[in-house]
Amino acid sequence: MTLHPGPAALGRRRALDSAPLLVAARGGAPSRLPVWFMRQAGRSLPEYRALRAGTSMLAACLTPELVCEITLQPVRRHGVDAAILFSDIVVPLYAAGVGVDIVPGTGPVLAEPVRTLADVQRLPSLHPGQVAPVTDAIALLLSELDDTPLIGFAGAPFTLASYVVEGGPSRNHERTKALMRRSPEVWHALMDRLATVTETFLRVQVAAGVDAVQLFDSWAGALSERDYRHYVLPYSARVLGGLAEAGVPRIHFGVGTGELLGAMAEAGADVVGVDWRVPLDVAARRIGGTLAVQGNLDPAVLFADPASIEAEARRIADEGRRAPGHVFNLGHGVLPETDPDVLTRLVELVHGLSP
Amino acid sequence: MTLHPGPAALGRRRALDSAPLLVAARGGAPSRLPVWFMRQAGRSLPEYRALRAGTSMLAACLTPELVCEITLQPVRRHGVDAAILFSDIVVPLYAAGVGVDIVPGTGPVLAEPVRTLADVQRLPSLHPGQVAPVTDAIALLLSELDDTPLIGFAGAPFTLASYVVEGGPSRNHERTKALMRRSPEVWHALMDRLATVTETFLRVQVAAGVDAVQLFDSWAGALSERDYRHYVLPYSARVLGGLAEAGVPRIHFGVGTGELLGAMAEAGADVVGVDWRVPLDVAARRIGGTLAVQGNLDPAVLFADPASIEAEARRIADEGRRAPGHVFNLGHGVLPETDPDVLTRLVELVHGLSP
């Protein structure tokens, strides 16, 4: 399928060429230090909780008006430099017809875990029409978002694989790690299929007009670099490589990935997301010194006093200046109990720290 | 209090001088590659589950006969090169009179979380007599263990601090991280007190005759190196430094600590434990090339096929040979669903890989 949005979205993209997020992602000199927050749309906002009352997560992710409104809430409230499409890692699987539900307090739970070649072969493909509500949501968002870029979103193949193999969230991923070694043919068939699902889902978003994409490999940090390179990197590389010609910045992130930063950059990112464990200047060197970095304030620090938050933000801005480009963000998603006013003040502070 | 055990235990320690674990820990050439497993005593063994039926975790940890038998079970079954005292991180707090319970399926839960200076000042000290059952258990163990070293055990101050501040297990440690920044005087008072508790608990074990100690900083990997050095290292260093004159090897371990290995070595370890994310030869370089390493088979790999387990064990033994000393272990604790026969076969295999 085409990666090219229609003339209206293309015109918008051209008009956004100087948006701080997109300039920083390309390693240029943005007019201000861009900042957004992973999970900025969601549980920390009372207006989100009010809007979601009575609607399941997956239903919300596939209702264009809700996706649009939830995506816009943090942009209005905080004045961040990017909107990120409200979605969930399992949305493309659910849309394709996989039996999966997001159980509050638990996370995604699969009706039938995938563990054999026959299970893999039964996994449906994703057809673009099945995520039409996401296309529609993006169209609504593009008409509402003025000069704020919209970031598309998908879970990476390994993270999807862990959910489908374990049947739900897993602390140790033992079934997943056993499968890759015990049955490499099943593993590679599964990753091939999931990479195609992820690629289709991101291509739909790019064709609908998103200005950047983020590939979330939530669980990649559970792997050694050796295993990541052998069992995972080729599939994430296919997803990211398949988007190269679209020309939108590709952000690649996982938590606890200090050992994997180089490999995750090699997979084909324009921006590598970094958690709080690795200083941004160190991360920039690990990824070869040519790519932009995103991060990396510890989300737990938002529970500290204003002076401590400011000191951390200043340190991060300083370290980020030593990278070829820096998008300010947290080192992981906004925690549900975060005071939204703290986020709003942080955006102001970060804008004041611009080079 | 004294660090010197009585003549019987001292005589035993001298007789153990050539035990592979102790030789490897000191960087010598052991007669075989020593191997033991974190959490080898516990939930993976049916004989453990049978013995624990009807007894709470904390009661079991303070019943000398149960501690002795549970500690011996994996030594008998697997033929490992070390016994590790069956205990729990919160045992010294509980023994000191802190209101804490280990809730099955959850973990340690505190009756009253510690968040103010007054809370810290109410924390009781640990008097050696309060852990007399542990002293008694060690005496029983020394009379039962022939030429197998016994490793003592304590949780590090930061990990204890996270439990007492959060009130229980925490994924993100936000209250703990906020406290260290928001109220440094409370934080340092708390860490000072917890370091004293940990030190007392380990000194009791050393005086009772354990042959080595392991300081577990389960949650240290949640911190950046910068925060670890500022808020944590001085206290772990006090604990480890206080044991130096005892002359027993000190093992220092935390999971997800790739960025902290150098700092954890500086805290005063003889052996640094490494999880599966960092190859042992790389870890050995990060800690300065002079200390032994312990690790680092991914516990999830034990769910794979025998050929894969063997390949991983061989690779780890090869990488460990490039360190000044190597104690074979997992990169984290034995997972509860692990087949104990797999562990037994792994011990045989590792012994066959001796240099």
Per-residue pLDDT of B133-142, as tens digits, reads: 999 999 999 9
Name chain B contacts of A173, Cβ cutoff 8 Å. Answer: 300
Per-residue pLDDT of B255-296, as tens digits, reads: 999 999 999 999 999 999 999 999 999 999 999 999 999 999
How far apart are the CA of A304 and the nearest CA of chain B, in angstroms? 4
What's residue A251's pLDDT? 98
Q: How far apart are CA B217 and CA B155, in angstroms?
A: 6
Whether B300 and A177 lie within 8 Å, measured CB to CB: yes
Instruction: Write down the pTM of the prediction.
Output: 0.96
Whether A226 and B279 lie within 8 Å, measured CB to CB: yes
CB atoms under 10 Å from CB of A165, counted, come to: 24
Residue A177's H or E segment, with its range, is: helix A174-182
Nearest-Cα residue of chain A relative to residue B224 = A277
What's residue A74's pLDDT? 98
Residue B355 in this model has a pLDDT that exceeds 80? no
% of chain B residues with pLDDT over 90 = 93
Nearest-Cα residue of chain B relative to residue A228 = B277
Question: What number is the ipTM of this complex?
Answer: 0.95
Q: How far apart are CA A79 and CA A32, in angstroms?
A: 13
Per-residue pLDDT of B219-260, as tens digits, reads: 999 999 999 999 999 999 999 999 999 999 999 999 999 999
Given a contact cutoff of 8 angstroms between Cβ atoms, the answer to whether B317 and B20 are in contact is no
Residue A197: is it exposed, middle or buried by C-beta count within 10 angstroms (0-12/13-18/19+)?
A: buried
* Candidates B186, B224, B259, partner chain A, best to mutate (most A CBs within 10 A): B224
- Three-class SS state of A80: coil
Active site residue A147: no
Instruction: Give the DSSP per-residue string, B178-200.
Output: HHHHH-HHHHHHHHHHHHHHHHH
Per-residue pLDDT of A228-251, as tens digits, reads: 999 999 999 999 999 999 999 999
Whether A304 and B178 lie within 8 Å, measured CB to CB: yes
Tell me the catalytic residues of B. Answer: 39, 43, 52, 88, 163
Name chain A contacts of B226, Cβ cutoff 8 Å. Answer: 279
Residue A2 in this model has a pLDDT that exceeds 90? no
Q: How far apart are CA B43 and CA B74, in angstroms?
A: 11
Active site residue A32: no
Question: Over chain A, what is the mean pLDDT?
Answer: 96
Name chain A contacts of B221, Cβ cutoff 8 Å. Answer: 256, 277
Residue B191 in this model has a pLDDT that exceeds 80? yes
Whether A276 and B173 lie within 8 Å, measured CB to CB: no
Active site residue A228: no
What's residue B2's pLDDT? 77
Question: Over chain B, what is the mean pLDDT?
Answer: 96
Quick one: DSSP state of residue B167? S
How far apart are the CA of A110 and the nearest CA of chain B, in angstroms? 21
| Residue of A12, A39, A115, A286 with catalytic role | A39
Per-residue pLDDT of A167-196, as tens digits, reads: 999 999 999 999 999 999 999 999 999 999
> Smallest Cβ distance to A256: which of B178, B256, B337?
B256
Residue A313 in this model has a pLDDT that exceeds 90? yes
Whether A298 and B224 lie within 8 Å, measured CB to CB: yes
For B24, the token pair is 């490897």
What's residue A4's pLDDT? 82
Residue B6 in this model has a pLDDT that exceeds 90? no
A8 pLDDT band (50/70/90 cuts)? confident
Per-residue pLDDT of B57-89, as tens digits, reads: 999 999 999 999 999 999 999 999 999 999 999
Name chain A contacts of B278, Cβ cutoff 8 Å. Answer: 224, 259
Whether A301 and B175 lie within 8 Å, measured CB to CB: no
Name chain A contacts of B277, Cβ cutoff 8 Å. Answer: 221, 223-225, 259
Per-residue pLDDT of A26-51, as tens digits, reads: 999 999 999 999 999 999 999 999 99
| Cis preceding-peptide flag for B296 (omega within 30 of 0) | yes
Nearest-Cα residue of chain B relative to residue A180 = B304
